[in-house]
Amino acid sequence: MKIYADENMPYAQQFFADFGEVRLFAGRELTAEQLSDADVLLVRSITQVSAALLTQAKQLRFVGTATIGTDHIDQAYLAEHSVAFSSAPGCNARAVVEYIVSALFTLAERYQWQLRDKVIGIVGVGNIGRRLVDVFSALGCQLLLCDPLRAETEPDFPHCPFEQLVQQADVLSFHVPQCQQGPYATRHLINQQTLVQLKPDCALLNACRGNVFDNQALLNEAQAGRLRPLVLDVWEQEPDILLPLLPYVDIATAHIAGHSVEGKARGTEMLYQQLCQLLGEPVVHSIDAFCPPAAVSAIEIHRDFGLPDVQNLFKLVYDVRRDDALLRHYIETQGFDWLRKHYPPRRECSTVRVLGDQLPDWLYDLGFSRP
Ligand X SMILES: O=C(O)[C@H](O)[C@H](O)COP(=O)(O)O
Q: Looking only at residues 88 through 127 of this chain, which bind ligand X when binding is defined by CB under 6 A?
A: 92
Among the listed ranges 42-50, 53-61, 163-171, 272-280, the one in contact with ligand X (CB under 6 A) is 42-50
Could you confirm whether 255 is annotated as catalytic?
A: yes
List CB contacts of 34: < 8 A, sequence separation 6 or more. 4, 25
Among residues 34, 36, 56, 127, the one that binds ligand NAD under rule CB under 6 A: 127
Q: Is 266 in the site for ligand NAD (CB under 6 A)?
A: no
Could you confirm whether 209 is annotated as catalytic?
A: yes
Element of type H or E holding 364 = helix 361-365
Element of type H or E holding 324 = helix 320-330
Q: Is 367 in the site for ligand X (CB under 6 A)?
A: no
List CB contacts of 35: < 8 A, sequence separation 6 or more. 4, 41, 53, 54, 56, 57, 60
What residue 44 binds from ligand X, ligand NAD, none (CB within 5 to 8 A, per partner kind)?
ligand X
List CB contacts of 221: < 8 A, sequence separation 6 or more. 195, 228
DSSP assigned state of 333:
T
Give the C-alpha separation, 10 to 91, whole Å. Answer: 13
By beta-carbon proximity to ligand NAD, the closer residue of 83 and 231 is: 231
What residue 102 binds from ligand NAD, ligand X, none (CB within 5 to 8 A, per partner kind)?
none
Element of type H or E holding 266 = helix 261-279
Q: Is 68 in the site for ligand X (CB under 6 A)?
A: yes
Query: Of the candidates 327, 259, 236, 320, which has an alpha carbon nearest to the alpha carbon of residue 67?
Result: 259
- How long is the chain? 371
By beta-carbon proximity to ligand NAD, the closer residue of 229 and 258 is: 258
Q: Looking only at residues 209 through 248 of this chain, which bind ligand NAD when binding is defined by CB under 6 A?
A: 209, 233-234
What residue 46 binds from ligand X, ligand NAD, none (CB within 5 to 8 A, per partner kind)?
ligand X
Give the C-alpha separation, 309 to 290, whole Å. Answer: 32
Q: Is 261 in the site for ligand NAD (CB under 6 A)?
A: no
**From the candidates 255, 266, 321, 347, which is the catalytic residue?**
255
Among the listed ranges 62-70, 214-222, 276-284, 348-356, the one in contact with ligand X (CB under 6 A) is 62-70
Q: Is 191 in the site for ligand NAD (CB under 6 A)?
A: no
> Is 147 among the annotated ligand-binding positions?
yes
Q: Looking only at residues 276 through 315 of this chain, which bind ligand X when binding is defined by CB under 6 A?
A: none
By beta-carbon proximity to ligand NAD, the closer residue of 210 and 229 is: 210
> Is 55 among the annotated ligand-binding positions?
no
Give the C-alpha separation, 193 to 81, whole Å. Answer: 42
Give the C-alpha separation, 16 to 259, whole Å. Answer: 21
Q: Looking only at residues 63 through 122 of this chain, which bind ligand NAD when binding is defined by CB under 6 A?
A: 68-69, 92-93, 96
Q: Is 133 in the site for ligand NAD (CB under 6 A)?
A: no
- Minimum separation from the CB atom of position 229 to ligand NAD (A): 18
Kindly write out the interface string for residues 1-40 of this chain, putting x where it contacts ligand X by CB under 6 A and - elsewhere: -------x--------------------------------
Could you confirm whether 238 is annotated as catalytic?
A: yes
Q: Quick check: bond before 239 cis, omega within 30?
A: yes
* Angle between helices 93-111 and 127-138 in degrees, nearest 10: 40
**From the candidates 23, 72, 187, 238, which is the catalytic residue?**
238
- Buried b or exposed e, range 1-12, using 16+ CB within 10 angstroms: bbbbbbebbbbb
DSSP assigned state of 370:
P
**178: helix, strand or coil:** coil
Q: Is 346 in the site for ligand X (CB under 6 A)?
A: no
Burial class of residue 362 in the structure, from the number of CB atoms within 10 Å of its CB (0-12 exposed, 13-18 middle, 19+ buried): middle
Q: Looking only at residues 226 through 265 of this chain, which bind ligand X when binding is defined by CB under 6 A?
A: 255, 258
Cβ atoms of 77 and 50 within 8 Å: the answer is yes
Enzyme catalytic residues = 209, 238, 255
- Residues near ligand X (CB under 6 A) are 8, 44-46, 67-69, 92, 255, 258
- Residues near ligand NAD (CB under 6 A) are 68-69, 92-93, 96, 123-129, 146-150, 175-179, 184, 186, 207-209, 233-234, 255, 257-258
Annotated binding site for substrate: 45, 67
